[in-house]
Structure 1
């Protein structure tokens, strides 16, 4: 059973934040979502869900996966396992002459194919499964909460919001997207907190499926498509029964000159950028009307760690990436599952109180060890995706070059799709458990290494005896032996009297360093015998005298305490009829147990 005092604050009520809320709720971990807007709202039109994303849904909560299937849109019958049909966006010249809209390949992604859904529809589904839309669950969602500061202590994190309120939690998880305020609070306002322009953008539009089918044919209108062409590509897929989401992706070299990332009414630039494409794409452009242009940004520089103390970054707050591999949302789902697993792991350990700083750090380290290599590589694949889609038209197209291009792009997606998400969660928990076991072992070892009261008592009496014997024996041993006593294994420099010569006559009276070898040997033998005597004395104190005295006087105290209690509790008088026999019996019992 998870600890009720273990509370997780989720900053950001987007897809990532609500997916984490669902995962934590399913595992019995308490969480509260703090959203900067007045309601759960997702920007953007549609989202692609492939094999790895759907597997993450199943692992987060099987009920979530079942509900998603009820709302998802799939390719038409017979094409359910198709991710995209990949076609030429323009005709190719020699040596391989292909017409525009020629079907190059169908990228297959069994068992899901390309399942799609509107972003806002998926968000509402997640909110429902997180229990945040009705009843008591609404208490676990707070709106109009824009984060302005974080303050950490050993036991909690205190969040400050723009409206002047504050809240505390055992851990804070940043799911507040590419503009993450938590990331800025963690890494400052340097390059690691500022998204960089990817030199790529898209003209986006939502089209009527019926109008699109009339212009380019029903098969292309109903099935997910990619048209690759010179210096750009076009992607489109249905997001519900009547609507198709379309993106015209093109290079935009250099720095982004505008403050806003979206520029409206860009029909003229669209026609210029895609003028070299074929008739099919031009028909789609005509239906798009006067679309807006969206500049894509991503985190080029990452902090050394995705966590700091009790605060952790996930999703776009940790690794915003370009969309050319359709993997941004899938990585957020994978993040949510693995993080929920490791937090659940420490919540079971901390059943009586909030997890310690070490336990939270172990959870975040386990999460990072599993997720960081994965999302960094997916980010790199996504950055390279624009060139991967478009470079086919950078030179003459031959059959060999076309086949190589197709194979590379299929492998690029398959590596993302068929990652073992469940294994990532198990590995994260294993790392957490190992870290906590090591911590327990270190604490136990430290306790064993600390001297007990018994050992300190023995050492104290040994030092007292050494001091007494050293004073007594100073006149019986050579001065060199007395000086040597200042550096034994148990230091006696604070107790032994060491004569220090203060005049030239006293210095001359000391034995010369050139004394004969027989004198050295005598001194060495005497010193060795002296050390052995001290060791034997210490052994005697440790193993015999101190234990004996403790047991003897402990027995007397026990009998005395028992006698006093009986006299207080009952009308009796306790007397020792034979004090000599009582003392003798105590001495024998104390000696017998040694």
Structure 2
């Protein structure tokens, strides 16, 4: 059975990672991206040990790209530290130091989103990618083909489609039979202010320890995250606030909201006051997530990354889940070819393995947001907060990617055996 062409809708980190993994396995694929070039919103992302392992299994060169770009905590004593959780009001005393347990001491490993995406995209030839192609709809075209309609008037016939087109996914609309792409997308009653601070300024205002290593300042109704990116040249800041209202604005991003942000963190401790003062005019972003979907697959169409399971950033796991998705899908499509089974069977195995884990990330991330704002079960009790924080991330990081890949392949093999039995009966 020849390796089938796969059409990938969306050229973000998930779509490009999948393209890299498929090319590494010799599977033909084409990427259709709505923008004029590769783009990623936001400044920094972090990958845990699970995602770093998945990236190297996807393609060793992709793992090398991340290692070359990754920024770690500056202090050697913080090598394994994910985040130092501190009080945001009063003295910034430590509540919990959350650390990874892997042999590599993979503490917070962050990259600039756009630089990472562009470096990852450099691993695939440009003739694999078509820009300015925003998908409008998908229809069945007879046989096993699908017809894709783009807003520039072009049409494409595809044997299989992977939706990597984000939270507003048109592919998700098709898979779940939704009236609108944003059906089942929920405002989480939180928004964030994002901004960047030159590290020399951050060190001057916060000191070496707080500026150069990852910190989370917790307080009632909000929290502030800071960590180094760009090889330590910049401090990335994400300041979160609870919202008692529904988000009714047509845009999810407001520009130049510095005065509003400073008002909302009035009365917090000195580190937080200094951080919000250093952000001149940060953007304000509403945080949405997907409600659980009954499936990620419909025939020869499947969802990946934010198109499948858009999540809040409270556990730093969203990009990592997209990379895990890409690895599983690339490997299952490769195995489907060698086993002589259909792409649909690969998609079914992928859905069975990936959906429970990725949807659990969405629900636990939302719960983490309550914890950080001291509105969860632990409230503002230091001991209860510490107990929860020290165990919250382990199940994400300690995921045995290789073993779970074997589970998925075994499911695919069972499909292949059933197919052979049915052929023998005929």
Q: TM-score, normalised by structure 1?
A: 0.68
| 1:197 equivalent in alignment to 2:164 | no
Mapped contact 2:371–2:377 kept (Cα < 8 A): no
Supply the distance in 1 between the matched residues of 2:132 and 2:289 (Cα, whole angstroms).
26
> 1:394 Cα deviation (Å)?
9.4
Out of 51, 54, 61, the position equivalent to 2:52 is: 54
Distance 1:257 1:151, change over 3 A: closer
Matched, 1:124 2:112: no
Q: Contact (CA 8 Å) 1:53, 1:333: kept in 2 or not?
A: yes
1:193 is paired with a residue whose SS is: coil
Three-state SS of the structure 1 residue aligned to 2:77 is coil
**How far does residue 300 in structure 1 lie from its aligned partner after superposition?**
2.0
Higher helix share: 1
1:142 alignment partner in structure 2:
130
Give the 5 Å matches for 1:431-510: 431-445=411-425, 447=426
Aligned with 2:109 (options 115, 118, 128) = 115
Tell which structure's C-alpha radius of gyration is larger: 1
Once residues 365 and 431 of structure 1 are traced to their aligned partners in structure 2, the CA distance between those partners, rounded to angstroms, is 9
Higher relative contact order (CA 8 A, sep 6+): 2
The residue that corresponds to 2:79 in the other structure is 80
**After superposition, where does 1:140-179 map in structure 2 within 5 Å?**
140-152=128-140, 153-179=142-168
Q: Is the 8 A contact 1:29 1:347 kept in 2?
A: no
Q: Residue 244 of structure 2 corresponds to which residue in structure 1?
A: 253
Equivalent residue for 1:298? 289
Matches of 2:368 and 2:10, distance apart in 1: 28
Secondary structure at the aligned position of 1:168 is classed as strand
Q: Is the 8 A contact 1:192 1:300 kept in 2?
A: no
1:58–1:257 CA distance, 2 compared to 1 (3 A): same
Distance 1:47 1:333 in 2: 12
Q: How far has the Cα of 1:191 moved from its partner?
A: 8.4
Matches within 5 A, 1:397-408: 401-408=381-388
SS in 2 for 1:249: strand
Uncovered stretches (5+) of structure 1, i.e. residues with no partner: 92-99, 132-136, 448-594
Whole-angstrom distance in 1 between the partners of 2:62 and 2:343: 27
The count of aligned residue pairs is: 419
Distance in 1, matches of 2:410 and 2:111, equals: 34
CA contact (8 A) 2:223 2:241 kept: yes
- SS of alignment partner, residue 285 of structure 2: strand
Distance 2:77 2:379 in 1: 34
Asked whether the equivalents of residues 371 and 379 of structure 2 are also in contact (C-alpha less than 8 Å), the reply is no
Alignment of 1:264-283 (within 5 A): 264-283=255-274
Q: What is the CA-CA distance between 1:54 and the residue it aligns to?
A: 0.4
Which residue of structure 2 lines up, in the alignment, with residue 420 of structure 1? 400
> Separation in 1 of the partners of 2:203 and 2:279?
14
**Residue 375 of structure 1 corresponds to which residue in structure 2?**
358
**Structure (1/2) with the larger strand percentage:** 2
**Per-residue CA distance 1:8-39 (angstroms, 9 max, x = gap):** 00000000000001111111111111001111
Partners of 1:424 and 1:396 lie apart in 2 by 35
Would the aligned equivalents of 2:17 and 2:323 in 1 still touch at CA under 8 Å? yes
CA contact (8 A) 1:215 1:283 kept: yes
Distance 1:268 1:146 in 2: 36
> 1:63, 1:291 → 2: CA distance?
35
Query: Which residues in structure 2 correspond to 1:511-522 (within 5 Å)?
Result: none
Residue 229 of structure 1 contacts residue 392 of structure 1 at CA under 8 Å; is this kept in 2? no
CA distance in 2, matches of 1:308, 1:395: 40
**What's 1:218 paired with?**
208
Query: Structure 1 runs of 4+ off > 3 angstroms?
Result: 190-194, 392-397
Measure the CA separation in 2 of the matches of 1:185 and 1:432: 24
Note closer, same or farther for the CA distance 1:411–1:209 as it changes in structure 2 (3 Å cut): same
Structure 2 CA distance for partners of 1:51 and 1:396, relative to 1, 3 Å = closer
Farther off after superposition, 273-282 or 218-227: 273-282
TM norm structure 2: 0.94
Residue 348 of structure 1 aligns with which residue? 338
Give the superposition deviation at 1:360: 2.2
